[in-house]
């Protein structure tokens, strides 16, 4: 069933929507008994009833929205007929059925073919997104720096703190990594591997689109051969400003603007692939699903997606959307009778902007909906996201921080290598290193000659209570402790015995 509580997200979104829509239509479309001329037919429905039911369902569904027109619904039902999902009750084998919005009777076929999702085994291998510095993977365990067996006796290279040199590869990787990480966060997906291969994203395109824009925000191209031909630019400028500010030298006759529009249409429809490219189809349709719940997040996601486009495609897209926006707001421009300019430009250029290499049933409706949103918000969507620029600057600043590198000696062929140790060895090293540091602290207290004796005794007692094993190893007996505090010499007793005889003589003299 099509999701009513939230949009359909994930890879192959259009195919899954097509399969779900078939199931909903088969289970929800009312079937009745109808009479055609003199005969009754069971379990069938009229073409008009099918259009009414499916149109209401598409407009109410969060994956499509109220922008779906009745004519688009009729085109979708024609694809149902072509895919042998429904057929006319009085069909003839030699005659092709044409679905119209009328009273002809249709019924479901016995089997309802659904499109098969692309198996994951054929997906190209993709690299995992690198995490930001604050969410980096935990470091490996301590490694031993050892000499090569062939260089026994050689002095180990000296390790120094040096600044890491930032290469062009580091800069490109930072732009690519932060773009994908930001997009993944907005879409709320655990990975983008099923939507786009990170290997197919060219970091130079992102950097060019961010740093080479003119005052109007339109990307500038280094290779002018990739730019729009001059006559196309002139024709687009003519339509965008009709009937004012026409280029000098252009003819003027009744119906001239329609010929100009046809020339622009022929150019864009002759491009080898849509401006959003076939590779990004799943990505953009998933962003369209996000628009159904949060338009602001969809706008941010589209900004990032458009940053990954080739610069020539981004510029053509920008100019085309701007022309379409100006044409739909021009009340003096009337190209086709009975149809608004807005509807005309959307029907004409939607498939030039977004389409799938392998045709699916809902491709046209999805393209129309996405292009409508992009035309109405192209100014914001095609801005360079400042948050992305800030994230990249922070990433590069992190890479420029000091790193410990091995400084090799000048001696020829002197080198060292690192060997990973086990977890048990790591714990043993950690305990040994900490105990050595504590033992050094005890030794410092013992050898401090400036420390008063009373304070030294106090510190040693505190150390003995805190680390009895280390203390016992250094001072195992009371004799060893006594050596630290030699006894002071005592006053001799005979000197005090002279006082009593003297006092007796004084007493005798008084008598």
Q: Is the pLDDT of residue 115 over 70?
A: no
pLDDT at 122: 36
Are 48 and 86 members of one domain? yes
Q: Is the pLDDT of residue 141 over 70?
A: no
pLDDT at 95: 67
Are 341 and 456 members of one domain? no
Range name among 257-261, 373-377, 429-433, 485-489 with the lowest pLDDT average? 485-489
Q: How many domains does the chain have?
A: 3
Q: Is the pLDDT of residue 491 over 60?
A: no
pLDDT at 388: 94
Query: Would you state the structure tokens that stand for residue 198, as one six-digit string?
Result: 């990170």
Q: Give the CATH number for residue 179.
A: 1.10.555.10
Are 431 and 378 members of one domain? no
Residue 132 counted as domain residue: no
Q: Is the pLDDT of residue 445 over 70?
A: yes
- Nearest CA to 361 among 111, 12, 56? 12
Strand order in the sheet with 32-36: 32-36, 39-46, 105-108, 86-88
Residue 428 counted as domain residue: yes
Residue 278 counted as domain residue: yes
**Confidence tier at 150 by pLDDT (50, 70, 90):** very low
Are 288 and 237 members of one domain? yes
pLDDT 10s digits, 153-194: 455 555 555 566 788 999 999 999 999 999 999 988 888 888
pLDDT 10s digits, 223-251: 889 999 999 999 999 898 888 755 556 67
Are 176 and 287 members of one domain? yes
Q: Which domain holds residue 346?
A: 170-395
Q: Considering only residues 482 and 225, tell me which one the structure prediction assigns the higher pLDDT.
A: 225
Q: Is the pLDDT of residue 505 over 80?
A: no
Are 346 and 446 members of one domain? no
Q: Tell me the average pLDDT across 291-311.
A: 89
Are 387 and 496 members of one domain? no
Share of the chain above pLDDT 90, in %: 32
Q: Is the pLDDT of residue 511 over 70?
A: no
Question: How long is the chain?
Answer: 511
Secondary structure letter of residue 219 according to DSSP: B
pLDDT 10s digits, 1-31: 444 556 777 667 788 888 888 889 998 999 9
Other CB atoms within 10 Å distance of the CB of residue 426: 15
Q: Tell me the average pLDDT across 129-143.
A: 40
pLDDT at 425: 77
Taking only Cα atoms into account, the Rg of the chain, rounded to an integer number of angstroms, comes to 41
H helices of 34-93, where? 47-60, 70-82
Q: Tell me the average pLDDT across 298-312.
A: 94
Range name among 100-109, 342-351, 422-431, 502-511 with the lowest pLDDT average? 502-511
Look at residue 137 and give its three-state secondary structure: coil
Residue 123 counted as domain residue: no
Residue keyed to tokens 């458009």: 306
What distances in angstroms separate CA 228 from CA 39, 218, 238, 304, one per listed residue?
61, 13, 15, 23
Q: Is the pLDDT of residue 78 over 80?
A: yes
pLDDT at 401: 74
pLDDT at 243: 81
Q: Is the pLDDT of residue 343 over 80?
A: yes
CA angle, 501 then 507 then 508, to 5°: 90
Are 363 and 425 members of one domain? no
Are 353 and 436 members of one domain? no
pLDDT at 478: 79
Q: What is the full DSSP assignment across 220-242?
A: P-SSGGGSPPHHHHHHHHHHHTT
DSSP β-bridge partners for residue 418: 145
pLDDT at 486: 67
Query: Would you state the structure tokens that stand for residue 116, as one six-digit string?
Result: 């098969």
Share of the chain above pLDDT 70, in %: 76
**Confidence tier at 92 by pLDDT (50, 70, 90):** low
**Confidence tier at 310 by pLDDT (50, 70, 90):** very high
Q: Is the pLDDT of residue 328 over 50?
A: yes
Q: Is the pLDDT of residue 411 over 80?
A: no
Are 21 and 102 members of one domain? yes
Range name among 344-348, 362-366, 399-403 with the lowest pLDDT average? 399-403
**Confidence tier at 134 by pLDDT (50, 70, 90):** very low
pLDDT 10s digits, 31-71: 988 888 778 888 899 999 999 999 999 888 888 888 888 98
Range name among 119-123, 382-386, 482-486 with the lowest pLDDT average? 119-123
H helices of 421-498, where? 423-447, 453-466, 468-474, 478-482
Query: Would you state the structure tokens that stand for residue 330, as one six-digit string?
Result: 């021009």
354, 274 Cβ separation under 8 angstroms: yes
**Confidence tier at 447 by pLDDT (50, 70, 90):** confident
Range name among 58-62, 88-92, 261-265, 469-473 with the lowest pLDDT average? 88-92
Residue 207 counted as domain residue: yes
**Mean pLDDT value across the chain:** 79
Cis ω for the linkage preceding 243 (within 30 of 0): yes
- Nearest CA to 22 among 361, 502, 345? 361
Residue 136 counted as domain residue: no
Residue 280 counted as domain residue: yes
Are 98 and 238 members of one domain? no
Q: What are phi and psi of 94, to 5 degrees?
A: -85, -5
Q: Is the pLDDT of residue 359 over 50?
A: yes
Cα pseudo-dihedral 91, 95, 100, 102, rounded to 10: -50
pLDDT at 289: 80
Query: Would you state the structure tokens that stand for residue 277, as one six-digit string?
Result: 């490219």
**Confidence tier at 417 by pLDDT (50, 70, 90):** very low
Are 345 and 427 members of one domain? no
pLDDT at 221: 94
Residue 404 counted as domain residue: no
**Confidence tier at 93 by pLDDT (50, 70, 90):** low
């Amino acid at each position: 069933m099509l999701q009513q509580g939230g949009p359909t997200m994930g890879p192959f979104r259009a195919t899954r929507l097509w399969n779900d829509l078939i199931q909903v239509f088969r289970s929800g479309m009312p079937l009745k008994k109808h009479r055609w001329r003199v005969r009754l037919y069971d379990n069938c429905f009229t073409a008009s009833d099918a259009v009414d039911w499916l149109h209401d369902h598409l407009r109410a569904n969060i994956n499509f929205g109220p922008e779906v027109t009745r004519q688009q619904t009729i085109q979708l039902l024609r694809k149902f007929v072509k895919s042998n999902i429904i057929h006319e009750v009085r069909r003839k084998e030699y005659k092709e059925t044409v679905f119209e919005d009328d009273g002809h009777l249709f019924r479901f076929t016995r089997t309802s073919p659904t499109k098969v999702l692309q198996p994951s085994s054929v997906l190209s291998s993709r690299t995992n997104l690198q995490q930001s510095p604050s969410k980096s993977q935990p470091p490996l365990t301590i490694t031993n720096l050892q000499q090569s067996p062939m260089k026994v006796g050689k002095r180990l290279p000296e390790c120094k703190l040096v600044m890491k040199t930032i290469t062009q590869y580091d800069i490109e990787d930072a732009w690519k990594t932060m773009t994908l990480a930001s997009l993944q966060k907005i879409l709320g997906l655990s990975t983008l591997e099923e939507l786009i291969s990170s290997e197919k994203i060219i970091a130079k395109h992102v950097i060019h689109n961010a740093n080479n824009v003119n005052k109007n925000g339109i990307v500038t191209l280094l290779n002018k051969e990739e730019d729009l031909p001059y006559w196309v630019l002139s024709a687009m400028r003519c339509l965008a400003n009709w009937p004012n500010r026409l280029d000098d030298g252009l003819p003027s006759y009744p119906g001239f603007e329609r010929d100009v529009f046809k020339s622009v249409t022929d150019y864009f429809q002759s491009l080898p692939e849509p401006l959003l490219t076939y590779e990004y189809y799943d990505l953009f349709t998933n962003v369209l699903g996000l628009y159904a719940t949060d338009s602001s997040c969809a706008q941010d996601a589209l900004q990032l997606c458009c940053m990954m486009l080739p610069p020539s495609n981004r510029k053509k897209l920008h100019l085309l959307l701007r022309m379409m926006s100006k044409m739909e707001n021009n009340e003096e421009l009337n190209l086709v009778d009975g149809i608004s300019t807005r509807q005309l430009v959307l029907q004409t250029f939607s498939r030039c902007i977004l389409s799938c290499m392998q045709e699916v049933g809902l491709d046209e409706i999805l393209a129309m909906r996405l292009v409508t949103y992009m035309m109405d918000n192209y100014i914001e969507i095609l801005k360079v996201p400042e948050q992305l620029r800030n994230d990249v600057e922070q990433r590069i600043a992190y890479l420029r921080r000091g790193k410990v590198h091995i400084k090799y000696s000048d001696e020829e062929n002197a080198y060292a290598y690192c060997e990973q140790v086990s977890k048990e060895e790591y714990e043993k090293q950690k305990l040994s290193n900490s105990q050595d540091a504590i033992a050094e602290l005890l030794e410092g207290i013992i050898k401090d000659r400036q420390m008063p004796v009373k304070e030294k005794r106090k510190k040693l007692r505190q150390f003995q209570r805190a680390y009895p094993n280390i203390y016992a190893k250094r001072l195992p007996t009371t004799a060893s402790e006594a050596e630290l505090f030699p006894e002071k010499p005592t006053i001799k007793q005979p000197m005090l015995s002279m006082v009593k005889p003297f006092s007796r003589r004084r007493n005798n003299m008084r008598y």
